[in-house]
Copies of this chain bind each other. A is one copy, B any other.
Amino acid sequence: MRPDLTTALRRALFEEWSQTGYVGISLESVALRAGAGKAAIYRRWPSKLAFASDAIETVGVDLAAFSDCGSLEADLTAFLLTMRRALRHRLVRRILPDLLAERACSRDLAPLIDRLARRRRAEGERMLDRAVARGELRTHLDRELALDLIPSPLYWRMIVRERATTRAEVDRQARALVAALRAC
């Protein structure tokens, strides 16, 4: 089993996915794109779902990571910059909304999406912990609301509205979010 071919197949899947959406993925087209035969796909994965799940988990299409930058605003800025970098990627920009849409129609991909979401939210909790410890946020702030507020404006702008976001816009967004989180 050739690992380089497995990688090529995964890459081809993402390209095809970004053009057709999950439902429209033709495994024949994926194989062709990878310069392989269809049997090579079936030797590795029993189904489209298994193939897609493996590919997503392997590449780790994840929005962003949180890190400790010394202050809430700096943490938020770093998060938004990382998220911006991920959403700038053409394939991510196309596959991410399709993942959500597909989940609404068929629950096949739901476990995968849930796993990704859970990881990110746990990291967000840790960032809130740090801000509380620094005295930047109230101890009993509404964490549900805070964790919805943080990624949503950037997601809305870049995915829903398909707009680019400058570094200055990220900075302003972080400042607005700090104000919002203080009111949570």
A145: Cβ under 8 A from any B Cβ: yes
CA–CA, A172 to B184, complex, Å? Answer: 7
Assuming the contacts A97-B97, A100-B101, A104-B93, asked whether A148 and B161 have C-beta atoms less than 8 A apart, the reply is yes
Q: How many residues of A contact B (CB 8 A)?
A: 45
CA–CA, A4 to B68, complex, Å? Answer: 60
Q: Residues of B contacting A144 with CB < 8 Å?
A: 169
A45: Cβ under 8 A from any B Cβ: no
A22 to chain B, nearest CB (A): 8
CA–CA, A64 to B104, complex, Å? Answer: 21
A96 to chain B, nearest CB (A): 9
A117: Cβ under 8 A from any B Cβ: yes
CA–CA, A55 to B142, complex, Å? Answer: 40
Interface residues of A in 132-166 (CB under 8 A from B): 142, 144-145, 148-149, 151-153, 155-157, 159-162
Chain A contact surface mostly: helix
What residue in chain B is nearest A104 (Cβ atoms)? B94
Name the one of B20, B94, B152 contacting A153, with C-beta atoms under 8 angstroms.
B152
A182→B179 contact, CB < 8 A: yes
A98→B94 contact, CB < 8 A: no
Interface residues of A in 77-100 (CB under 8 A from B): 93-94, 97-98, 100
A59: Cβ under 8 A from any B Cβ: no
Pairs of residues from A and B, 3 with the lowest C-beta to C-beta distance, nearest first = A152-B156, A179-B183, A180-B180
User: 13 A-B contacts, Cβ less than 8 Å apart?
Assistant: A100-B159, A103-B162, A145-B173, A148-B153, A149-B153, A152-B156, A152-B160, A155-B156, A155-B160, A172-B184, A178-B183, A179-B183, A180-B180
